[in-house]
Amino acid sequence: MWPNLPVLNATSTGVQPIASVAAADAALPSAPLHPDVHLFQTNLGPHVFLVNGSQVYGLGESEYARLSAAARQDTRESVERVMKEFGLEAPAFVDDSPLASPPLRAISLAVAQKCNLGCTYCYAQQGDFGGSAKQMPEKQALDAVEHLFAEARAGDRVNLAFLGGEPLLNRLVIRSATERGAQLSEARGIKVDFSITTNGTLLTSEDADFFEQHGFAVSISIDGVGDTHDQQRPFKGGTGSFARIVERLEPLLSRQRRMQVSARVTVTPRNLELPRTLDELLGLGFHSVGFSPMLSAPSGRDEMNQDDLTIMLEQMTVCGQQFERRIVAGERYPFANMVNAMKEIHRGTHRPYPCGAGAGYMGVSADGELSACHRFVNDESGAMGNLASGVDRARQNNWLASRHVHRQEPCRSCWARYLCGGGCHHEVIHRGRPACAYIRGWLHYCLQAYVRLLERRPDYFAQA
């Protein structure tokens, strides 16, 4: 289907399962050679990614050879010396000190801890997080919104998200919490962004108008087209949900202006044909489409293993190459993973955490319990206090200290550590880190693609 473009990292299609993961990983160009640098080749010459500050430099052949030789030695000093000579030394941008008591700026409300679908891999165990199905009372939601705005001042920006379970099972609370948020925003000069993650089966035309009015970022959990989606995201009775979703999506997709409706695809071993899924979903009219590997399911079902991740990397690379072609042609191609990667690499994003969980972002359960994020509802390992008495600062600061990427293995010596941040906390705590080679492989490809696109379409990056 796609023209034969060379895949510029070593993994090629149809790879056989390899017994020793470590050996396979070490042979890859994306493998971690030295904690401070990552060297990569492109058709525009050799480059280096300096881990400190996420800096990308083109190198001459002799500079590359010197840095490469230094990186192969066992010490950090060898690379430090060469960097100093090249004028590349810099103070550390990220040190060991964790964030401490950061202000709350984003919350997600689990307005419904129940769901009408029975997705195989659901982190919420098909909606109720293993407890009794419940709704968030309106008062609880409004208190949470007040709490969010209370910590902010005029000019600040806050984010209010609705999750679950399936949030649209508690439409009333979404409406009134949003309206309260809009009121407080207006009154206090605090900018608010609204978002919702939904399975899409319960959307109505009125929802479309409401979300459009408030400029929601709407994320639809959808795993492909037709059977590809249905086999892992059925209704609780077992029938497929795809047809219903498409029908219910129509008013949202056609009305999105302030609202943005994106597709979030959970990738399992059963829906690995990513280029097809990407184009089919874009064809439906989604504003963007993003892929996320299923790494940790409470049921253990449909989790990705090493071979699956290897295939996923190949598939993502094919999607990326299509992205490159389209951007070079001056077209829009909202493959979300790539759009984000290009933005972050161009800016030189570098951070010691994978996200704001437990820092500026908290999840609120139907009972008003606070947790590090929406996945940790009813999960002690991410508990952060409750709304009534506020964020438990001791727990929070302990979380932030222990989850800093400098304290993680094998992260602390990996070149990707400030782009990856250590991986999703929930996945890591419950399953560990099976996806490091995938992440490095993907970032390695993205670095190469970045160099190519910067050369061919510098205007693409002008907004970053």
Partner 1 sequence: MGIDPKNLSAQLQYQARGNPPGAHPESAVGNFFPGLEFNFLSAWRRILVGVELNESSGDVMAVDSDAPPEVEGLVGFQVIAVDVQIVNGEVSGGIPIQVLAHGPGPDDPTKDTIFGQIYLEWGNALASLHHEKGGTGQAVVCLFQHPDTGELRQVPLKVRKLFEPDSVLISRDAVQPGELTQSLCSPWQTDFIGCACYYWAANRPDYVNLWQKKDGSLGDGHNWLNNTRETKLDSASGEYKPFYTLVPGKTLEHADIMRSEDWEKKLRFVIGGKDES
Stretch that binds partner 1, among 29-37, 87-95, 292-300, 409-417 (CB under 8 A): 87-95
| Interaction between residue 90 and partner 1 (CB under 8 A) | yes
How far apart are CB 454 and partner 1 at their closest, in Å? 6
Site string for partner 1, 63-82 (x = CB under 8 A): xx------------------
| CB distance 255 to 263 below 8 Å | no
Tokens of 258: 């302030």
Stretch that binds partner 1, among 22-30, 234-242, 365-373, 446-454 (CB under 8 A): 446-454
C-beta closer to partner 1: residue 6 or 87: 87
Per DSSP bridges, beta strands 157-164 and 191-198 are: parallel
| Interaction between residue 376 and partner 1 (CB under 8 A) | no
Measure the CA–CA gap between 161 and 217, rounded to whole angstroms. Answer: 9
- Residue given tokens 């590359």 in the structure block: 64
Per DSSP bridges, beta strands 217-221 and 191-198 are: parallel
| Interaction between residue 454 and partner 1 (CB under 8 A) | yes
| Interaction between residue 351 and partner 1 (CB under 8 A) | no
- List the one residue from 1, 12, 14, 61 that touches partner 1 (CB under 8 A): 61
C-beta closer to partner 1: residue 341 or 357: 341
Tokens of 52: 């400190």
- List the one residue from 62, 132, 389, 463 that touches partner 1 (CB under 8 A): 62
C-beta closer to partner 1: residue 70 or 163: 70
Stretch that binds partner 1, among 13-21, 369-377, 397-405, 447-455 (CB under 8 A): 447-455
Tokens of 77: 């000093």
Question: How many other C-beta atoms are found inside a 10 Å radius of the C-beta of residue 229?
Answer: 24
Measure the CA–CA gap between 34 and 144, rounded to whole angstroms. Answer: 45
Stretch that binds partner 1, among 33-41, 193-201, 202-210, 342-350 (CB under 8 A): 342-350
Site string for partner 1, 18-57 (x = CB under 8 A): -----------------------------x--x--xxxxx
- List the one residue from 345, 366, 383, 439 that touches partner 1 (CB under 8 A): 345
Measure the CA–CA gap between 307 and 313, rounded to whole angstroms. Answer: 10
How far apart are CB 449 and partner 1 at their closest, in Å? 13
| Interaction between residue 393 and partner 1 (CB under 8 A) | no
- List the one residue from 136, 274, 387, 451 that touches partner 1 (CB under 8 A): 451
How far apart are CB 326 and partner 1 at their closest, in Å? 21
C-beta closer to partner 1: residue 163 or 449: 449
Q: Which long-range contacts (CB under 8 A, 24 or more apart) does 373-377 make?
A: 373/108, 373/425, 373/426, 374/108, 374/110, 374/161, 374/163, 375/123, 375/124, 375/424, 375/426, 376/425, 376/426, 377/110, 377/113, 377/124, 377/129
CA distances from 44 to 47, 309, 320, 451 (A): 9, 28, 18, 8
How far apart are CB 195 and partner 1 at their closest, in Å? 27
| CB distance 14 to 314 below 8 Å | no
How far apart are CB 267 and partner 1 at their closest, in Å? 28
How far apart are CB 156 and partner 1 at their closest, in Å? 25
| CB distance 370 to 391 below 8 Å | yes
C-beta closer to partner 1: residue 58 or 137: 58
Phi first, then psi, for residue 49 (nearest 5°) are: -105, 115
Measure the CA–CA gap between 49 and 415, rounded to whole angstroms. Answer: 8
Binding residues vs partner 1 (CB under 8 A): 47, 50, 53-64, 86-88, 90, 345-348, 350, 450-451, 454, 464
